[in-house]
Structure 1
Amino acid sequence: MASKQAQRLAARQQLQQRMAVKAEEERRKRTVLWSIGGVAALVALVLVAWGAVTVFGADDDEAGASDPDVAELVDEAEAASDRCADVEPSGEGALGTPTEGLTDGRPAQDVYLECLQMSTPDASATESCMYTSVDGTSPTPLSVQPAAGTQKMTIVTNLGTITAEIDTAGAPCTAGSFTYLAKEGYFDGQQCHRLTTESIWVLQCGDPDARGAIEAGTPEMAGAGSPGYQYEEENLPVEAEANYPAGTIAMANAGAGTTGSQFFIVYEDTSLPADYTVLGQVTSGLDIVEQVAAAGVM
């Protein structure tokens, strides 16, 4: 029979073994818990990051920062932003005899848009735009357009240069349309086809077919042309006296939702129904339009 000392020694060894086993089990549990906790923390970080992108990154998406199409649009606009830099007013254009008493018709002084350019748009914010092809095949601008700040429009006419500050933030779809058309040279060589000199005071331009109609001897046909697409009005003024003040550049239309490329420059404070998109404000060259108005209508 083993001595009591030997029994106590054996019992102590068994206890130590059990404690060692228990300690190992506790260590394994802690390792598992730490692993689970680490995974949970990682998942939490991912969720927080995703939430931040969703909440704060929405502006980046809206701004087109991650939209390659918007980035390409801006690059193309920048490449075309100085396309009129070397174009000088030609001084060409006939001065006809105005018709006495006529206050709405073709300008007696020919006005040609010899080159039109738009500065690079700011895409730190964007806006969804719906451009509808008139015939189902005509190309349209990108459906997401820059919608921040302003742009500079430069119009080289045969009589001099007109510049304007375009309200891109207020009229992003209209500004986007002008940027799209201008880089393609759409307005170059066009003729302004309408002048009004009583009650409303505007010079209207932007019809791609007007010059052809005038030169063909059918000026009454001018005013029906379009870029092949149309879109909704935006940035409308309030109904008020002189709601289209002198220097305003606004868009002509043939009814709601038919804005295209035709625009008018207001040379004297004018009251109109608040139906026409306000695109921007002339910053220099309004005297050119006043000169055309002084020559009268025929």
Structure 2
Amino acid sequence: MASKQAQRLAARQQLQQRMSAKAQEEKHKRTVGWAVGGVAALVALVLLSWGAVVWLGGDDEEAGGPDGDMAALVDAAEEASARCDGVEPSGEGEVGTPAEGLTDGRPAQDVYLECVQMSTPDASSAESCTYTSADGVSETPQPRQPAAGTQEMTVVTNLGTITADIDTAGAPCTAGSFTFLAMQGYFDDQQCHRLTTDGIWVLQCGDPDARAAIEAGTPEMAGAGSPGYSFAEENLPVEAEGNYPAGTLAMANAGAGTTGSQLFIVYEDTTLPADYTILGQVTSGLDIVEQVAAAGAM
């Protein structure tokens, strides 16, 4: 009988040991499961957070996305928006002898663009622009440009300062190009190369090679320079009498899609084919252009 009790006791102990071992095994499984589940949940949370950042826009500037590019553009433009502050007109430049009866030629009064700046653009809306590099290497403005409101252009010339309101909303690609070039000092020290005084009343500037051509004694070569890229026309007027009124800033071109950096300032109401982008309107300094026109053409 004792032997049977001993056997039952031994069997009970073995069962308890097995049950205890099984309980430990189940506990270990649960611990491992919780750990794996926690890691999975954490990974899922990270992925969800990342997805939300991408979906909602997040910090695209750090990611180098479109919004980041725009923010960088606005920051750079703001940094350069006061680059001409404190620059005074030099008063340099000569007055040559105009040719009698000549109505289209080099201005007799030398006009130099001594410093050009653009105010910070409003990027509350944007427009896609296509800038075509002439050689596939020349740098171009970024393809998304601010397209809201206006900007102020300040042009310090040797004869005085001209200011203009730039229609960024109406001509965002052209305004973007000017902001891009002005930040680099592209227009600084350029020379205006063409004046017309009959039927068409404009002073044309913006050729980076004009001054060198004039100083080399080959003014006929002025007018062919560009920033190394071109883009399409925009903000065109209607075909009408006086469609380019006095004070208009407009872009010169050599045909559709060839707008670059050359612009003309209209100093008397002018009628032209509606082929030239209207960039903005002179707000002060038009009398400087009128003074140049009065000196005649060479």
TM-score interval (norm. to shorter): 0.7 to 0.9
Deviation at 1:152, TM superposition (A): 0.1
| Structure 1 gap segments, 5+ residues each | 1-45
Matching of residues 1-298 of structure 1 within 5 Å: 67-298=67-298
SS at match of 1:201: strand
SS at match of 2:265: strand
Q: Tell me the amino acid that sits aligned with residue 78 of structure 1.
A: E
SS at match of 1:203: strand
Deviation at 1:66, TM superposition (A): 6.4
SS at match of 1:276: coil
Q: d(CA) in 1 for partners of 2:131 and 2:254?
A: 16
SS at match of 1:69: helix
Q: d(CA) in 1 for partners of 2:123 and 2:282?
A: 23
Q: d(CA) in 2 for partners of 1:65 and 1:125?
A: 16
Q: d(CA) in 2 for partners of 1:215 and 1:273?
A: 32
Q: Deviations over 1:30-82 (max 9, x none)?
A: xxxxxxxxxxxxxxxx9xxx9xx89xx8xx9xxx9961111000000000000
Q: Tell me the amino acid that sits aligned with residue 292 of structure 1.
A: V
Instruction: Give structure 1 regions of 4+ aligned residues with deviation exceeding 2 angstroms.
Output: none
Deviation at 1:86, TM superposition (A): 1.4
Q: Deviations over 1:96-136 (max 9, x none)?
A: 01000100000000000000000000000000000000011
Task: Confirm or deny: 8 A CA contact 1:65 1:71 kept in the other structure.
Answer: no
Q: Tell me the amino acid that sits aligned with residue 202 of structure 1.
A: V
Q: Deviations over 1:238-297 (max 9, x none)?
A: 000000000000000000000000000000000000000000000000000000000000
**Identical pairs, percent:** 81
Task: Confirm or deny: 8 A CA contact 1:65 1:124 kept in the other structure.
Answer: no
**Number of equivalent positions:** 242
Task: Confirm or deny: 8 A CA contact 1:65 1:123 kept in the other structure.
Answer: no
Question: What RMSD in Å do the two structures reach over aligned CA positions?
Answer: 1.9
Q: d(CA) in 1 for partners of 2:78 and 2:114?
A: 20
Q: Tell me the amino acid that sits aligned with residue 231 of structure 1.
A: F
| Structure 2 gap segments, 5+ residues each | 1-47
SS at match of 1:70: helix
Q: d(CA) in 2 for partners of 1:139 and 1:286?
A: 32
Q: d(CA) in 2 for partners of 1:104 and 1:156?
A: 24
SS at match of 1:67: helix
Q: d(CA) in 2 for partners of 1:252 and 1:279?
A: 11
Q: d(CA) in 2 for partners of 1:159 and 1:66?
A: 41
SS at match of 1:138: coil
